[in-house]
């Protein structure tokens, strides 16, 4: 199937005139991760970044012909929810409760505390907004419900956009709107978002996913969302209104996140997990790739300017 044909199928599905576009992802590496998450393409260095949350590790690798080769590992003494990169290669890492900077010479600096020390929560998925601010959410590690946050680090410090989430997850920006996932209720929220000022409009429900649990998320150049579905072993392409356009099957039930990667941003990289599975199968916890006929958006670089803790 050519790229043009796939794009045509996506357009047809968008108009609700015909079958969904269906794809099958292929394993990209023999390596297995307990809770692979947060893939990110660093175009300036042609490297892929991702994390293994429970192993407390940030991974770097190369992408070649759909295969991923791990080249470097940054180890931490706590969970690692997400990683982002600045234009000069500096990393920002969401540890269990705090945000840490890793300079290109490997020097580490704590930037900010997001969660109270000893809180029964941990930081989870994060992403950089169009102006270079880093956003990150949290999840509970006990039976608390509806007390988790979505926070943003900028020149003024840490700002809390939400404080009533159950399990904050994927983030994506389309047309000056922020889309964010709350996994347990299956809600994809949307709000107006001014990149210049960081001001946001009222949060409203974009749509809800009831078959499986929405997890990590990214956007494509056509203005659609690609949402990993934990429990259903796939990534789903949906319009901002929630219409299902395409599915990408991984064969790994706990599919966690996705990002467009490669020089042309035309390879969908997918992370998965072995967590909470009885007898994980040969595809669980692997990295996958798929060509889905559309291109992604370049990931904004995290801005290190004017941060109060640097």
Q: Percentage of the chain surpassing pLDDT 90?
A: 90
Q: Percentage of the chain surpassing pLDDT 70?
A: 93
Distance between CA atoms of residues 214 and 98, nearest Å: 25
pLDDT at residue 308, as a whole number: 60
pLDDT at residue 14, as a whole number: 42
Mean pLDDT of all residues in 73-91: 98
DSSP state, residue 200: B
Q: What is the CATH number of the domain that holds 120?
A: 2.120.10.30
Closest CA to 220 of 265, 272, 182, 270: 265
Q: Would you say residue 165 lies in a domain?
A: yes
Report how far apart, in Å, the C-alpha atoms of 167 and of each of 106, 150, 251 are.
Answer: 31, 10, 24
Q: Would you say residue 232 lies in a domain?
A: yes
Is pLDDT above 60 for 309?
no
Q: Would you say residue 284 lies in a domain?
A: yes
Closest CA to 310 of 82, 29, 70, 102: 102
Is pLDDT above 70 for 80?
yes
Would you place residue 8 in the very low, low, confident or very high pLDDT band (cuts 50, 70, 90)?
very low
Q: Around Cβ 38, how many Cβ atoms within 10 Å?
A: 27
Q: Would you say residue 297 lies in a domain?
A: no
pTM for this model (two decimals): 0.93
Is pLDDT above 80 for 15?
no
Q: Would you say residue 306 lies in a domain?
A: no
Domain of 196?
Answer: 3-290
Give the residue, 255 or 5, on which the prediction is more confident: 255
Distance between CA atoms of residues 228 and 149, nearest Å: 21
Q: Would you say residue 127 lies in a domain?
A: yes
Distance between CA atoms of residues 215 and 306, nearest Å: 32
Q: Would you say residue 305 lies in a domain?
A: no
Q: Would you say residue 304 lies in a domain?
A: no
Q: Around Cβ 309, how many Cβ atoms within 10 Å?
A: 13
Give the residue, 9 or 82, on which the prediction is more confident: 82
Domain count, the chain: 1
Distance between CA atoms of residues 98 and 110, nearest Å: 7
Lowest mean pLDDT of 12-21, 96-105, 131-140, 155-164, name the range: 12-21
Closest CA to 25 of 300, 280, 256, 298: 256
């Amino acid at each position: 199937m050519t790229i043009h044909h796939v794009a045509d199928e996506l357009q047809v599905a968008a108009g609700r005139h015909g079958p969904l576009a269906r794809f099958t992802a292929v394993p990209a590496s023999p390596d297995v991760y307990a809770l692979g998450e947060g893939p990110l393409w660093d175009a300036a260095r042609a490297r892929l970044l991702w994390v293994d949350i429970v192993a407390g590790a940030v991974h770097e690798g190369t992408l070649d012909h759909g295969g991923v080769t791990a080249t470097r590992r940054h180890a931490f003494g706590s969970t690692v929810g997400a990683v982002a990169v600045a234009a000069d290669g500096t990393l920002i890492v969401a540890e269990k409760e705090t945000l840490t900077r890793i300079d290109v010479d490997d020097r580490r600096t704590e930037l900010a505390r997001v969660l109270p020390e000893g809180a029964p929560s941990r930081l989870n998925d994060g992403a950089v907004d169009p102006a270079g601010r880093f956003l990150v959410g949290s999840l509970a590690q006990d039976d608390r419900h509806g007390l988790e946050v979505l926070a943003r680090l900028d020149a003024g410090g840490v700002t809390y956009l939400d404080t009533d989430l159950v399990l904050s997850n994927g983030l994506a920006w389309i047309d000056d709107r922020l889309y964010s996932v709350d996994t347990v209720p299956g809600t994809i929220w949307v709000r107006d978002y001014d990149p210049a000022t960081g001001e946001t409009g009222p949060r409203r429900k974009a749509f809800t996913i009831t078959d499986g649990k929405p997890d990590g998320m990214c956007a494509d150049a056509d203005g659609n969302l690609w949402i990993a579905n934990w429990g259903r072993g796939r990534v789903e392409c949906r319009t901002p209104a929630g219409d299902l356009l395409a599915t990408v099957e991984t064969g790994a039930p706990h599919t966690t996140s996705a990002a467009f990667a490669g020089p042309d941003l035309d390879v969908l990289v997918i992370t998965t997990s072995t967590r909470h599975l009885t007898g994980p199968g040969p595809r669980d916890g692997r990295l996958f790739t798929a060509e889905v006929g559309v291109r992604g958006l370049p990931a904004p670089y995290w801005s290190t300017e004017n941060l109060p803790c640097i």
